[in-house]
Structure formats: C-alpha cells, structure tokens
Amino acid sequence: MKAITTALLILYIVPLFGQSFTETSVEIEALRGTLSIPNKKTNTAILIIAGSGPTDRNGNSAIGMNNNSLKMVAQEMVEEGYAVLRYDKRGIAESKGAVTDLTSVRFDDFVGDAKNWLTFLVEKGYPNIVIAGHSQGSLVGMLAAQGNEKVKGFISIAGLAEDSGEAIVRQLQAQSPVLGEDARVNIDSMKAGYTVTQFNPYLISIFGPAIQPFLKSYMAYTPSEEIKELDIPVLIINGTTDLQVDIPQAEKLKESYPKGQLLIIKEMNHVLKNAPKNDLSANAATYNNPDLPLSEGLISGMLNFIDKL
C-alpha cells in the first residue's frame, strides 16, 4: 500500500518553552493522521494508537468525549524531541471514508492499518519506532509489533490482559449481575463458534447482528498471550482510578511478560487524567474536560522508558 503525505500541509507551528514543532496532515489512502515533527532531527518516532469505539486520534469521540488526552501525549512527546504519529482509525472521524460497510470491519483490519503506518514512518526516515497503544490500541499495537525489527519498544497504556469477551462480561457484571450473566451465555456461545440470535435487548449494542462479526474477530486474541510473542522492551502503564481497565489487568500483562516494566500511576483514570477514587461522577467528568492536564508521572514514565532504548 502506497503511503501518501498530503502536500506537506503544515497545519501550525507551536512554540513552547523556547522550542517549536510542526504538525503535518498525512494520509494512507483513506486513513488520516497527524505527524508531529520536532525541530531537532530524530531517528525515533512514536506511533500512538487510540482505543475502542469512535475514539479519534486526539482521544475524543463524537459521543460526548472531549478530553484531548492523546493529543496532549503527542505534543508533550514531540516537545521532548521525538516525532509522533497519531491517526484516526478506519471508520472514525477523518478516516470515516475508509469504511463503506461497517459489518465488514474486522479487528485484523485495525492491525493491518497500524502495520501500514509503521511502514509509513520508516519510509519517512524513522528507523526506530516505539508503539504506544491505549486501551484497545494496546492489543492492536502488540500485534503490529510482532516480528517487526523496526519497532524498538512497546508501551501498553490501560491495556487489557484478558480477551474482550471476558472484559465485557466482567464490566457488565459490575453494573448488573443479570446483564452480566446474559452476556456470559452469549460470549460463551460466540467463542464456541455460534452466531447469537437471541440476546437481552439492552445488549443490542454489543450483540447486534452488525456487531457480532467484529466482536468475534476481536475476542479471538488474548493480550496476555500475545504479549509473549514480543522480544523487545515493554512498558505497561495503568492508573489506580481507571474504571474500565483495572490494575489486575496490568499486573497480568506483567506476569505474562516478566522482563517488561510496570508503572502504576496514582489517581490516573482511563483518559489519563487525575480522578478521585470513590467519586464516579467526578471521574466521568474528566472524560469531557480538555483543560485538565495529564496525570503527573505519565509523560516522565514514558520518557524514562524511551530514552533508554
């Protein structure tokens, strides 16, 4: 697949702390992204991969999430002298045109897209690449990194250790034991190779006919097993107030990849912002507040890992 850079369109140059960088709109066919380039030449680029659902390259979504978490990570890292590429997943935001039939999308399509962006970065002159995958993007990045000698390090941020089917059951059980049990039956049936035709109507967004093929392709992978296929430095990051991916998930990834590093950040939630432990409404409010800074320790932890590669 040919990588095309859109006419070197410089969107803006941002001076910060006496330094500046450029952000350039880039594309691979119908996929769109942003390449942030520091003024100082570097051989290392960071590929940021967004999480599940309609999450865009900035960590935001059209369903009421506006926190700029991934944009902030990218701009902090480029200020430290690394090139950073973040992109909209196929079917999302400016990459919407990459999908004409939602029922045809499979998880492996996301992995293939990440691999193509890795090739794009190498062709742009970055022989050393670090993948930083957030949430679902952790598994995407994990799979994309396997067997790629240009990937020098992998960072899992709020990534699951269990497969997505188990995560769905666990999260639903925490909200409603009835829905959790219904989901358990459906997930087990799908894992056995069946198509679910009867399900709780409250779960149509999970088990609807248009969704099932993608979900089957997604839960075919277990991150705690896939991480074992890597042979590169790995950093596993999680926050203590993450409502979607809890600390045991990070600990399980570490257990599966013992030589990896584990970084637990106090009071960091799923959108990488500080949130109180026992206040759900305050935690949820951070998902729609782009003015909040990233949790302290996130960027320094990532830099400490990347600088030593």
Per-residue DSSP letters for the chain?
Answer: ---EEEEEEEEEEEEETTEEEEEEEEEETTEEEEEEEESS--SEEEEEE--SSSB-TTS-BTTTB---HHHHHHHHHHHTT-EEEEEPPTTSGGGGGG-S-GGG--HHHHHHHHHHHHHHHHHTT--EEEEEEETHHHHHHHHHHTT-TTEEEEEEES--SS-HHHHHHHHHHHH-HHHHHHHHHHHHHHHTTPPP----GGGHHHHSTTTHHHHHHHTT--HHHHGGG--S-EEEEEETT-SSS-HHHHHHHHHHSTTSEEEEETTB-TTSSB--TT-HHHHHHGGG-TTSPPPTTHHHHHHHHHTT-
pLDDT the model gives residue 15: 45
27-86, pLDDT tens digit by residue?
Answer: 999 999 999 999 999 999 999 999 999 999 999 998 889 999 999 999 999 999 999 999
**Residue 11 pLDDT exceeds 90:** no
Answer yes or no: are the C-beta atoms of 265 and 298 closer than 8 Å.
yes
Task: Give the model's pLDDT for residue 64.
Answer: 80
Lowest mean pLDDT among 8-12, 152-156, 215-219: 8-12
The tokens of 79 are what?
């200020």
pTM: 0.93
* pLDDT (tens digit per residue) in 90-103: 999 999 999 999 88
Domain 4-162+221-306 fold is Rossmann fold (3.40.50)
Task: Output the pLDDT for position 277.
Answer: 85
The predicted-structure confidence for 104-148, as pLDDT tens digits, reads as follows 999 999 999 999 999 999 999 999 999 999 999 999 999 999 999
Is the four-CA dihedral 249, 250, 253, 254 of positive or negative sign? Answer: negative
The mean pLDDT of the chain is 93
- Evaluate if residue 13 carries a pLDDT over 90: no
Task: Give the pLDDT band of residue 244 (cuts 50, 70, 90).
Answer: very high
Structure confidence at residue 14 (pLDDT): 44
Band of pLDDT at residue 248, cut at 50, 70 and 90:
very high
pLDDT digits (tens, 9 = 90+) for 181-204: 999 999 999 999 999 999 999 999
- The structure tokens listed for 19 are 């330094």
Contact 110, 89 (CB under 8 A): yes
What are the domain boundaries of the chain?
Answer: 4-162+221-306, 164-220
Better pLDDT: 109 or 10 = 109
For residue 20, what pLDDT is reported? Answer: 75
Q: CB within 8 A of 256, min separation 6: which ones?
A: 161, 224, 225, 227, 228
